A and B are shown apart, each in its own frame.
Chain A
Amino acid sequence: MSSLHLRGVTVTAPAGHRLLDAIDLDVADGEALAVIGPSAASRTALLRTVVGLQEPDEGTVLIDEDDVTVQPPRRRDVAMVFADHALHPRRDVLDNLTFAATLRRHDRAELAEAVEQVSVDLALQDVLRLRPHRLGPDQQQRVAMGRSLVRDARLWLFDDPFSAQSERVRPHVRSVVMAWQAERGRTSLVATSSVDEALSLAARVAVLHQGRIRQVGTPQELYDDPADMFVAGYLGAPPMNLLPAFRDGEQLVTPLATIHVDDRLGAAMGDRSVVIAGIRPEHCHDATRGSVDVTGGVEFTTRVDDVEWRARSQYAYLGFDTDPALAEVLDEVEEMFAFDLFQDFLVAQVPTEVAVQPGQSIHVVVPHDRVVLFDPDTGENLTRR
């Protein structure tokens, strides 16, 4: 069992841009940490650096307090599941499963037992004698996972390990792999582009974007208390509504509502005149159709532009116009994060008991303490607890 520590790890791409920028990350012994981020977030670069395929320009990689920064992969004893599966085309599934473990001279009896178990758990027992080209992408991916699982490695790294699995079997495969991880207490790093997957499979999640760790925390912490606008706008489906807001005396004026600046918001704003207000869709309560306590809440009435029905709730899309001067600020923020954060509508998640129709009027109430403010210059969460 091992722990992993990255200290100021910086990796530059051959083209000159930073793949990883001063990464500090700690993964405890036996912990499974999920790493999420949009495409080009450098998730793969992070894993390649840990396994030893990419040497950092700066910083150190520590496994069990051993500095392995310049050690070749074979000395690190780290197993990695590659996003493109990397199966040997001329070897059958059984040989692929045992290839890495054989290189490490694992105990044959233990290996045979592990292979048998993994082939049952990952539904590979019927294809053990087939070559990879005879398998579907989902089976190839499970073979790639199995190859790492049978290894008695210090760390397990997974690069988008469930992407080829169908929606139906993905949760099962995920639970099988995480059960192996938990049973054996293997320290694991699971990189994925699926936010839901990351939030469901690991106790802690690291959000990576533009080569930087934006935040590390439990799914609840990331969701309720995002460190910055990127984390707020990236997590959640639909993500947090982000609206431009300017201060007018004791009021904060947004395109849809006016928010009273109380002590909490006042302290957060400081002397800023423009901020970005964040409101989660599920905190937008429909006071028109249900009994909602509106005391001290942020209230506004507007027209429903569109409605999207889901099994347990419906999303009401409430359009608004943004002041051109504020729109420029939003453009600058999006440029800074290289990510689409802002929409010209607010999404309210309302119960399905009463159907909301497009064109109807809706009275929305948001609990005042659920309003989050962000600095438009840095993206930082000003109301972070």
Chain B
Amino acid sequence: MTPTIPTVRSRLTAALVAFVLGFGIANLAIFTLPGPDRVLGVVVAGVLILTSAWAVLVADSPRRISVWAVLGAEVLVVLVLVPVLWLVSLATSTGGTPTTLWPEAWTTDAFTGLSGDEELRGAAGRSAAAAVLATAVAALPALGLATLLARTRWRPRRLVRTATIAAALLPGVALAVGGGDLVLRLGGPFADSVVLRLALVQTAIALPLATWVLTSVLAGAPWSLAEAARADGARTRTVLLRVLLPAVGPALLAGLVLTALVTAQDLALATSVTGPQAPTLPMLLLERAADPAAGAQVAAAGLVAAVPAVVLLLVAPRTVTRLLGGSYR
């Protein structure tokens, strides 16, 4: 769809909003913020005021660009950068809680300390193992459900889709109350292994999410290519290995990694089946966050824990966006 040319009034209104925002932030920064944060604030204000000036210049041009979109993107960047900067500042602070967004002094002690923290490593390993196991367990039924949703005209598929979305939206706390109790009553290997208990209960998160992303994968699979290969004389195995897998393999992998990453972030369900002796990474970080002295280490661990998600987004932004149901151009 070709975007329409915004009106002059719309662009001038956006210019006014950008100027007011910029002017406000500049005043706030100059009069209230200390040291390096003042510079940051002035830079943000400068960008907004420049956007305002640019918007006035292009107000009556035939270009299809939307000033509101540019302004929205700038606000989004600021809203994302502020907490990230704060986390970095916390993680690199030399002692106590930092007072500025931009770190006043840098140290990597908190990061180097992570590798030696047995409890943290154990919690991270537990989280990762349980998430991977839960995703692996969910993958097969999810593939079946995704096939049903993406490839069949079976009438109850709408019910399945609704149930999948409902399960994904169900509050973790609600699941934890019932699901946790049930899992704790299980005997056998579940009584001895925290990871197994975690994986079992976290399947409730992994299954609907995996179904959702795999439905996107299958909906985008080149089925006509598979049919052409069949017409060319390929057996089912050949079609699968030489046509479908090379085409959907990367998306399939990205979808399962995404599922595992989201599952590993679970807190409520994990709390219901583990104890303080064997916490997961989110549980441990939350517990330690209560102690102001451990702020740097918690922030450093949080930043490290975010690395896989950032890498996935950097490596396959289109795939991730498509799997989550959005469009990417």
Q: Interface residues, chain A, CB within 8 Å of chain B?
A: 14, 51-53, 72-74, 77-80, 82, 84, 86-90, 99-100, 103-104, 147, 151
Please name all residues of chain A whose beta carbon is closer than 8 Å to the beta carbon of B158 when the two chains form the complex: none
Once bound together, how far apart are the Cα atoms of A295 and B227, in whole Å?
A: 61
Known A-B contacts: A52-B231, A103-B233. Give 9 more (CB < 8 A): A53-B227, A53-B230, A74-B230, A79-B231, A80-B231, A100-B229, A100-B233, A104-B232, A104-B233
Whether a CB of chain A sits under 8 angstroms from the CB of B121 is: no
Contact: B233 with A77, CB < 8 Å? yes
Once bound together, how far apart are the Cα atoms of A151 and B231, in whole Å?
A: 12
* Residues B46-87 near A (CB distance < 8 A): none
Interface of B is mostly: helix
A109 CB to nearest B CB, Å: 20
Contact partner of B225 (CB less than 8 A), chosen from A52, A86, A104, A151, is A86
Contact: B228 with A103, CB < 8 Å? no
Once bound together, how far apart are the Cα atoms of A151 and B224, in whole Å?
A: 20
Once bound together, how far apart are the Cα atoms of A42 and B153, in whole Å?
A: 20
Contact: B238 with A82, CB < 8 Å? no
Contact: A74 with B227, CB < 8 Å? no
Please name all residues of chain A whose beta carbon is closer than 8 Å to the beta carbon of B238 when the two chains form the complex: 103
Minimum CB distance partner of B234 in chain A: A103
* CB-defined A-B contacts under 8 Å, sample of 23: A14-B153, A52-B230, A52-B231, A53-B230, A53-B231, A73-B230, A74-B233, A79-B231, A80-B228, A86-B224, A86-B225, A87-B225, A89-B222, A89-B247, A90-B247, A99-B232, A100-B232, A100-B233, A103-B229, A103-B234, A104-B232, A104-B233, A151-B232
Minimum CB distance partner of A50 in chain B: B231
Please name all residues of chain A whose beta carbon is closer than 8 Å to the beta carbon of B229 when the two chains form the complex: 99-100, 103
A152 CB to nearest B CB, Å: 12
Please name all residues of chain A whose beta carbon is closer than 8 Å to the beta carbon of B233 when the two chains form the complex: 73-74, 77, 100, 103-104
B227 CB to nearest A CB, Å: 5
Please name all residues of chain A whose beta carbon is closer than 8 Å to the beta carbon of B153 when the two chains form the complex: 14
Please name all residues of chain A whose beta carbon is closer than 8 Å to the beta carbon of B231 when the two chains form the complex: 51-53, 73, 78-80, 82
Minimum CB distance partner of A78 in chain B: B231
Q: Interface residues, chain B, CB within 8 Å of chain A?
A: 153, 222, 224-225, 227-235, 238, 243, 246-247
Once bound together, how far apart are the Cα atoms of A84 and B224, in whole Å?
A: 8
Contact: A88 with B243, CB < 8 Å? yes
A89 CB to nearest B CB, Å: 7
Please name all residues of chain B whose beta carbon is closer than 8 Å to the beta carbon of A104 when the two chains form the complex: 232-233
Contact: B225 with A88, CB < 8 Å? yes
Please name all residues of chain B whose beta carbon is closer than 8 Å to the beta carbon of A84 when the two chains form the complex: 224
Interface of A is mostly: loop
Please name all residues of chain B whose beta carbon is closer than 8 Å to the beta carbon of A51 when the two chains form the complex: 231
Please name all residues of chain A whose beta carbon is closer than 8 Å to the beta carbon of B235 when the two chains form the complex: 74
Minimum CB distance partner of B226 in chain A: A86
B150 CB to nearest A CB, Å: 15
Once bound together, how far apart are the Cα atoms of A53 and B238, in whole Å?
A: 16
Please name all residues of chain B whose beta carbon is closer than 8 Å to the beta carbon of A77 when the two chains form the complex: 233
Q: A14-B153, A89-B247, A90-B247 are in contact. Are A74 and B228 (CB under 8 A)?
A: no
Please name all residues of chain B whose beta carbon is closer than 8 Å to the beta carbon of A100 when the two chains form the complex: 229, 232-233
Contact: B246 with A90, CB < 8 Å? yes
Once bound together, how far apart are the Cα atoms of A152 and B109, in whole Å?
A: 70
A-B complex: 10 closest residue pairs judged by Cβ atoms: A86-B228, A100-B232, A74-B233, A51-B231, A80-B231, A103-B233, A73-B231, A73-B230, A86-B224, A86-B225
B307 CB to nearest A CB, Å: 29
Please name all residues of chain B whose beta carbon is closer than 8 Å to the beta carbon of A80 when the two chains form the complex: 228, 231
Contact: B243 with A79, CB < 8 Å? no
Contact: A82 with B224, CB < 8 Å? yes
Minimum CB distance partner of A144 in chain B: B228
Please name all residues of chain B whose beta carbon is closer than 8 Å to the beta carbon of A147 when the two chains form the complex: 232
B285 CB to nearest A CB, Å: 41
B85 CB to nearest A CB, Å: 40
Please name all residues of chain B whose beta carbon is closer than 8 Å to the beta carbon of A78 when the two chains form the complex: 231
Once bound together, how far apart are the Cα atoms of A334 and B99, in whole Å?
A: 81
Minimum CB distance partner of A151 in chain B: B232
Please name all residues of chain B whose beta carbon is closer than 8 Å to the beta carbon of A87 when the two chains form the complex: 225
Which of B227, B243, B246 has the most CB atoms of chain A within a 10 A radius of its CB? B227
Once bound together, how far apart are the Cα atoms of A73 and B233, in whole Å?
A: 6
Minimum CB distance partner of B225 in chain A: A86
Please name all residues of chain A whose beta carbon is closer than 8 Å to the beta carbon of B228 when the two chains form the complex: 80, 82, 86
Contact partner of B227 (CB less than 8 A), chosen from A72, A86, A90, A103, is A86
Please name all residues of chain B whose beta carbon is closer than 8 Å to the beta carbon of A74 when the two chains form the complex: 230, 233-235
Contact: B232 with A103, CB < 8 Å? yes
A385 CB to nearest B CB, Å: 40
Once bound together, how far apart are the Cα atoms of A367 and B227, in whole Å?
A: 52
Which of B225, B228, B231, B238 has the most CB atoms of chain A within a 10 A radius of its CB? B231
A170 CB to nearest B CB, Å: 23
Minimum CB distance partner of B246 in chain A: A90
A74 CB to nearest B CB, Å: 4
Which of B224, B233, B247 has the most CB atoms of chain A within a 10 A radius of its CB? B233
Minimum CB distance partner of B153 in chain A: A14
Please name all residues of chain B whose beta carbon is closer than 8 Å to the beta carbon of A99 when the two chains form the complex: 229, 232
Once bound together, how far apart are the Cα atoms of A289 and B40, in whole Å?
A: 88
Once bound together, how far apart are the Cα atoms of A80 and B246, in whole Å?
A: 22
